[in-house]
């Protein structure tokens, strides 16, 4: 018998005064709003870490210590086997993406509600381009975005955007590139260089990939691919033990993309590296 017993008994007798006011429709509506807000917050939120891990993954190197276990799957090959995109291309006119069409292709293994489950190491066609996957992925086709939800692993769009999801319950939103002839032309060239670098990384040729990425940055400094390329150069350089060039790439990133969400993370990385005086992307 404790002195608290009457208090505990009283507490046990506390009942909700009114029940049943829970409105399922309101719950569903507000939950949908909360979900979309959460997705929005994650756009680019961990892109630097993502890019770093992507480059490490593609290079077939050991992963960062901070990387969650879910990223490393026992079934994942050291170098992911990339299956060519054999999925049918979107049937709509160029520039007019049909977001309502279901995502299909030989690597699609099923659908779960609005989500598509794709085979590990496969590729699927989406209105934003071909999505290359490593790790089982659920791809939700939304009104104007492709939402990728991977249980583990790496995914990349063939337009050069890289999508890496560390662990589960992470969403990354990839927007299709804007239309416009000049921008499209630049993007196409930058994209082809980014793809070449990606292939070189997949083949384990990191020095060649770094050269290609440096060319991309030099020729198309304003292209979105150049932004990712700078981060990749930094990552590859660090893996090659070239901290000077890593610092120069990060310095270039911080200077050229100072308002980008990843700038502060890049700055933090930069501060952990030895100081370097740079000429372009190379240390003097």
Partner 1 sequence: MTLTVATDVEQMQEAALLSAAQRGDAQALEALVRLHRSSLAAQVAHMTGDPGSVDDIVQEVFIAAVAALPGFRRDAQLGTWLYRIALNKSRTWWKAQQRRKRREQLGTAVAQAQAETPDEQLAHTDHARRLYAALADLPHRYREAFVARHVEGMELAQASEHLGAPVSTVSYRARRAMALLEQRLCEDDR
* Interacting residues with partner 1 (CB under 8 A): 2-4, 6-24, 26-28, 30-32, 34-35, 38, 112-115, 149, 168-169
Instruction: State which residue, 70 or 263, has the beta carbon closest to partner 1.
Output: 70
Q: Minimum Å distance from CB 75 to partner 1?
A: 18
274-281: which pairs have CB atoms within 8 A and are 24 or more residues apart? 274/243, 274/244, 274/247, 275/247, 276/243, 276/244, 276/247, 276/248, 276/251, 278/247, 278/248, 278/251, 278/252, 280/218, 280/248, 280/252, 281/214, 281/217, 281/230, 281/233, 281/245, 281/248, 281/249, 281/252
Q: Minimum Å distance from CB 95 to partner 1?
A: 30
Contact 163, 50 (CB under 8 A): yes
Instruction: State which residue, 173 or 267, has the beta carbon closest to partner 1.
Output: 173
Q: Minimum Å distance from CB 161 to partner 1?
A: 23
DSSP conformation class of 20? -
Q: Minimum Å distance from CB 115 to partner 1?
A: 8
Closest CA to 225 of 257, 200, 255, 258: 257
Closest CA to 133 of 76, 50, 65: 76
Instruction: State which residue, 169 or 182, has the beta carbon closest to partner 1.
Output: 169
Contact 263, 253 (CB under 8 A): yes
Instruction: State which residue, 18 or 78, has the beta carbon closest to partner 1.
Output: 18
- Whole-angstrom Cα distance, residue 82 to residue 199? 10
Instruction: State which residue, 21 or 284, has the beta carbon closest to partner 1.
Output: 21
Instruction: State which residue, 15 or 284, has the beta carbon closest to partner 1.
Output: 15
Contact 244, 257 (CB under 8 A): no
Instruction: State which residue, 137 or 202, has the beta carbon closest to partner 1.
Output: 137
Q: Minimum Å distance from CB 181 to partner 1?
A: 39
- Return the H-helix or E-strand segment holding 10: helix 5-12
- Whole-angstrom Cα distance, residue 18 to residue 2? 32
Q: Minimum Å distance from CB 189 to partner 1?
A: 38
């Amino acid at each position: 018998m404790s002195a608290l017993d009457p208090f505990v008994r009283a507490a046990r007798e506390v009942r909700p005064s009114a029940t049943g006011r829970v409105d399922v429709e309101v719950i569903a509506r507000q939950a949908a709003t909360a979900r979309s807000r959460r997705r929005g917050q994650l756009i680019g939120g961990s892109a630097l870490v993502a890019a770093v891990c992507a480059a490490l993954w593609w290079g077939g190197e050991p992963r960062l210590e901070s990387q969650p276990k879910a990223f490393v799957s026992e079934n994942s090959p050291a170098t992911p086997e990339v299956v060519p995109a054999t999925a049918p291309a979107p049937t709509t006119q160029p520039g007019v993406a049909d977001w309502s069409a279901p995502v299909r292709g030989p690597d699609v293994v099923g659908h779960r509600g609005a989500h598509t489950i794709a085979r590990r190491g496969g590729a699927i066609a989406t209105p934003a381009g071909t999505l290359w996957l490593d790790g089982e992925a659920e791809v939700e086709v939304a009104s104007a975005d492709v939402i990728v939800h991977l249980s583990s692993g790496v995914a990349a769009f063939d337009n050069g955007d890289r999508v890496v999801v560390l662990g589960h319950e992470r969403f990354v939103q990839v927007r299709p590139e804007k239309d416009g002839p000049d921008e499209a032309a630049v993007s196409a060239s930058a994209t082809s260089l980014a793809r070449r670098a990606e292939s070189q990384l997949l083949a384990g040729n990191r020095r060649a990939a770094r050269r290609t990425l440096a060319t991309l940055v030099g020729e198309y400094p304003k292209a979105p691919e150049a932004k990712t390329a700078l981060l990749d150069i930094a990552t590859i350089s660090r893996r090659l033990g070239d901290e000077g060039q890593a610092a120069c790439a990060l310095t270039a990133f911080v200077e050229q993309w100072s308002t980008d969400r990843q700038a502060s993370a890049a700055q933090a990385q930069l501060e952990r590296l030895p100081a370097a005086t740079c000429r372009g992307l190379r240390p003097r």
